[in-house]
Structure 1
Amino acid sequence: MERGLRTTTRFNTRQITTIGMLSAISIVLGVTGLGFIPIPPVKATIMHIPVIIGAILEGPVVGAMVGLIFGIFSIVQAITTPTPVSFIFLNPLVSVLPRVLIALTSYYTYKAIKTNFKVLNMSVAAAIGSLTNTCGVLGMIYLLYLEPYAKALHLSTSAAQKGIITIAAANGIPEAIISTIITVSVVTAVNKIRRK
């Protein structure tokens, strides 16, 4: 019998398949640009949804692996299709860390909510995961790059601050709603298939 430490560091076949499938979706979204919705001067994203789904279905490590792929593609997008603020996304603290954290906040929110309504549990977890992405990325930009961000966009620092807050609201709420709808639909469907 294997010890708990060893079993938690290994992926079973279903987890590997889930990572592969959701990472493939992330790669397609990243390569085609379908996962990034241009809202100047940044790009809103739906690429965080596979991270949330992976975390709820298979746990935080699986979700974090998908989040890592998402973060890497943010860096690739910053290099291959640059915008005036793409230099910010070359920093893994902006492009990768928040995307990995999506998995942790989604999973642990889902586990912490103990209602009998799984749809509600998934909805809250998906919304929190989505907001983790929005607040994490924009929060890092605010903390690490506010002045260079303002300079790149030819804005004052105060205008850049207001812009970041506006982007957070304009992107964060719609992304959270879309995340909730898609996550609940996909996770419910997968769980029904698994029960058969």
Structure 2
Amino acid sequence: MEKGLRTSPRIGTRQITVIGMLSAISIVLGVTGLGFIPIPPVKATIMHVPVIIGAMLEGPVVGAAVGLIFGIFSVVQSITTPTPVSFVFMNPLVSILPRILIGITTYYTYKMMKTNVKTINMVVAAAVGSLTNTIGVLGMIFLLYLEPYAKVLHLSVSAAKKGILAVGITNGIPETILSAVITAAVVASINKIRRK
């Protein structure tokens, strides 16, 4: 088993510290706007990267916990700084559940990857975690709020469907690439430090 891959469901002092630090990073990325990287014509978010890193370094419980805090922050932000579509993010099924699942899908993908090239294992697991966020959030909006979402944006339901799909592609692909690159670099560096 690769160093840094935790399987125990128990949470110790180190895991609590990691949850706190990574959650704080995710919140700072959101509050300051640093979590949004302009890649014209879109802004790709990296706010879910701390969730992915937590899952790879400390296991699914830590990843899910960081995702939970990221999701709660998303709900709070939708209440405190509302936009026309903020109502969808007030639902925990949209803003919290997919973020918890990021940590779980990342960890189990990482665990199942059997290549001898650790970087490939990390890149694939990070990509799966990022896609979990994109597909989870947009999928829930599509399933639960398609008509009200279309109405508030003054779109037909058909146009709203196309819009959600377009966001998934135009934002999802850059976010997946960024997440994979950043995560692989950070996790590899931390594992090197741990081996010393």
Pairwise same-fold verdict (TM > 0.5): yes
Q: CA deviation at 1:24?
A: 1.3
Amino acid at match of 1:100: I
Residue aligning to 2:66 = 66
Is residue 178 from structure 1 mapped to residue 196 from structure 2 by the alignment?
Answer: no
Q: How far apart, in 2, do the equivalents of 1:33 and 1:127 lie?
A: 22
Q: CA deviation at 1:31?
A: 2.6
Q: How far apart, in 2, do the equivalents of 1:34 and 1:126 lie?
A: 20
Residue aligning to 1:96 = 96
In structure 2, relative to structure 1, the CA distance for the partners of 1:150 and 1:37 (3 Å cut) is farther
Residue aligning to 2:57 = 57
Matches for 1:24-173 after TM superposition, within 5 Å? 24-36=24-36, 45-173=45-173
Q: How far apart, in 2, do the equivalents of 1:97 and 1:13 lie?
A: 25
Q: What TM-score do the two structures reach when normalised by structure 1? A: 0.90
1:42-76 deviation line (CA, Å, top 9, x unaligned): 98531100000000000000001100111011111
Amino acid at match of 1:49: V
Across the two proteins, how many residue pairs are aligned to each other? 188
1:129-157 deviation line (CA, Å, top 9, x unaligned): 00000000000000000000000000000
In structure 2, relative to structure 1, the CA distance for the partners of 1:111 and 1:70 (3 Å cut) is same
Q: How far apart, in 2, do the equivalents of 1:101 and 1:134 lie?
A: 11
SS of 1:17's equivalent in the other structure is helix
Q: How far apart, in 1, do the equivalents of 2:142 and 2:117 lie?
A: 37
In structure 2, relative to structure 1, the CA distance for the partners of 1:45 and 1:91 (3 Å cut) is same
SS of 2:34's equivalent in the other structure is coil
Q: CA deviation at 1:35?
A: 2.5
Residue aligning to 2:18 = 18
Residue aligning to 1:3 = none
Q: How far apart, in 2, do the equivalents of 1:11 and 1:52 lie?
A: 17
Q: CA deviation at 1:17?
A: 1.9
5+ residue gaps in structure 2? 1-6
Tell me: higher relative CO, structure 1 or 2? Use CA pairs within 8 A at least 6 residues apart.
2
Q: How far apart, in 2, do the equivalents of 1:60 and 1:45 lie?
A: 22
Q: How far apart, in 2, do the equivalents of 1:147 and 1:34 lie?
A: 32
Structure 1 vs Structure 2: percent identity of aligned residues? 77
5+ residue gaps in structure 1? 1-6
In structure 2, relative to structure 1, the CA distance for the partners of 1:118 and 1:38 (3 Å cut) is closer
Amino acid at match of 2:148: P
State the Cα RMSD in Å.
Answer: 1.9
